[in-house]
Amino acid sequence: MAATKYSHPFLRGLKPFPEGYDDEIQQIREWMKSQPHLPYISDDFIMLFLHSNMYKVKETKETIEWYFTIRANTPDLFTNRDPLLPKNKAILDITNMVALPNTTAEGYHVLLYRLSDFDYSKLNFADAVRVFCMFNDVKLSEDRLSEAYIVIFDMKGCSLGHLTRVTLPALRAFMQYIQNGHPCRLKKIHVVHTVSFINQVMCLVKPLIHSNLLNLLNFSSDGPASVVDKDLLPEDYGGPLPPVKQLHEEQRRNMEENYREWLIETEIFKADDKKRIKKPSKGMFATLTSTFKGLDID
């Protein structure tokens, strides 16, 4: 497949490349040529995958395989990526998804997610996962090769009603994607304003979580100021920055105006299972779909 205008995850490209990884890029490029089910991607994209895996080639191949296969097998989550579609706008209306403007002292980016409308009947879980992944793709483009991410989920306003809106297939695919296919370095996941029914939430999620992700989780009954420096936070949380709603609206506008065409175009980033050479084998994708019981990575 020929390179398209958007054959990479960076709207404005990735330059300059980190030095000293030409050999790793070439190894991945040669491997991808032998995998006809995978789409053509630019060196920028390969660099993102390598960076997220600390430049380890074997792990990078696995991430690439997961990334494109999950996107092919869960169209509910990875198609209809136009931020102006009514169902996507509905999610952006009831949530705040923001990247805080400043990084931590270590250079980590901080992402904050919360509900802005507490009416659980307005939540479609698969739509929420789709928009969450769209937002994260925009952040990967904006941030280039981030040192790492700290994620804050503010559970204020979450109710048992919201829990009833969770659909297991979408949750399972989302957890597989975040853990195996999402090309970023995760440093910590803070769940703040923890709800009384957090144990029920964890019963639902825990079977889907690898131990290394479990180790990143931190729960706090207090607000974000209990987990990151207050200087990084919006005024809603006692910090010096503009309120969360303002940051959300600015970043939403960026998604709708600057990234809309790119997000729609990124629907092409998926495996073509008809072209897959190797037959599935047990293991890798057993929990993702009944069609795909596993894949081999050379």
**Banded model confidence at residue 7, pLDDT cuts 50, 70, 90:** low
- What integer pLDDT is reported at residue 278 of this predicted model? 73
**Cβ(280)–Cβ(78) under 8 Å?**
no
Among 4-18, 160-174, 243-257, which range has the highest average pLDDT? Answer: 243-257
Please check whether residue 112 lies inside any domain of the structure: yes
Please check whether residue 32 lies inside any domain of the structure: no
Per DSSP, the chain holds a count of helices (H) and strands (E) of 12, 5
**Would you say residue 175 has pLDDT above 50?**
yes
User: How far apart, in whole angstroms, are the C-alpha atoms of residue 282 and residue 216?
Assistant: 28
* pLDDT averaged over every residue in the chain: 90
Based on the structure, what is the number of domains in the chain?
A: 1
**Banded model confidence at residue 6, pLDDT cuts 50, 70, 90:** low
First and final CA of the chain: distance in angstroms?
22
Please check whether residue 136 lies inside any domain of the structure: yes
- Tell me the two tokens of residue 34: 């032998």
Judge if the upstream peptide bond of residue 16 is cis by omega within 30 degrees of 0: yes
Tokens 């029914």 found at: 197
User: How far apart, in whole angstroms, are the C-alpha atoms of residue 202 and residue 208?
Assistant: 10
Q: What percent of the chain lies above the pLDDT cut of 90?
A: 79
**Cβ(62)–Cβ(28) under 8 Å?**
no
**Would you say residue 285 has pLDDT above 90?**
no
Mean pLDDT of 50-78: 95
Residue 191 DSSP SS3: strand
Please check whether residue 130 lies inside any domain of the structure: yes
The one-letter amino acid code at 15 reads K
**Banded model confidence at residue 15, pLDDT cuts 50, 70, 90:** confident
**Cβ(172)–Cβ(201) under 8 Å?**
no
Residue 241 DSSP SS3: strand
**Would you say residue 187 has pLDDT above 70?**
yes
User: How far apart, in whole angstroms, are the C-alpha atoms of residue 244 and residue 163?
Assistant: 24
**Would you say residue 46 has pLDDT above 80?**
yes
**Cβ(168)–Cβ(206) under 8 Å?**
no
- Tell me the two tokens of residue 3: 């390179």
- What integer pLDDT is reported at residue 9 of this predicted model? 77
pLDDT in tens, 85-115: 999 999 999 999 999 999 999 999 999 999 9
pLDDT in tens, 222-246: 999 999 999 999 999 999 999 999 9
Indicate yes or no: pTM above 0.85. Answer: yes
Please check whether residue 64 lies inside any domain of the structure: no
- What integer pLDDT is reported at residue 62 of this predicted model? 95
Please check whether residue 163 lies inside any domain of the structure: yes
- What integer pLDDT is reported at residue 277 of this predicted model? 86
Mean pLDDT of 145-163: 95
Please check whether residue 245 lies inside any domain of the structure: yes
Please check whether residue 183 lies inside any domain of the structure: yes
Domain that holds residue 142: 86-260
Alpha helices in 101-197 (DSSP H): 125-143, 160-164, 168-176
- What integer pLDDT is reported at residue 11 of this predicted model? 79
- Check residue 234 and report its DSSP letter: B
Bridge partners of 152, per DSSP, are 112, 190
Provide the CATH number for the domain around residue 108.
Answer: 3.40.525.10
**Would you say residue 176 has pLDDT above 60?**
yes
- What integer pLDDT is reported at residue 23 of this predicted model? 96
**Got the DSSP string for 12-75?**
T---SPPTT-HHHHHHHHHHHHT-TTSPP--HHHHHHHHHHTTT-HHHHHHHHHHHHHHHHH-H
Rounded to a whole number of angstroms, the CA Rg of the chain reads 19
Mean pLDDT of 129-157: 96
**Would you say residue 280 has pLDDT above 60?**
no
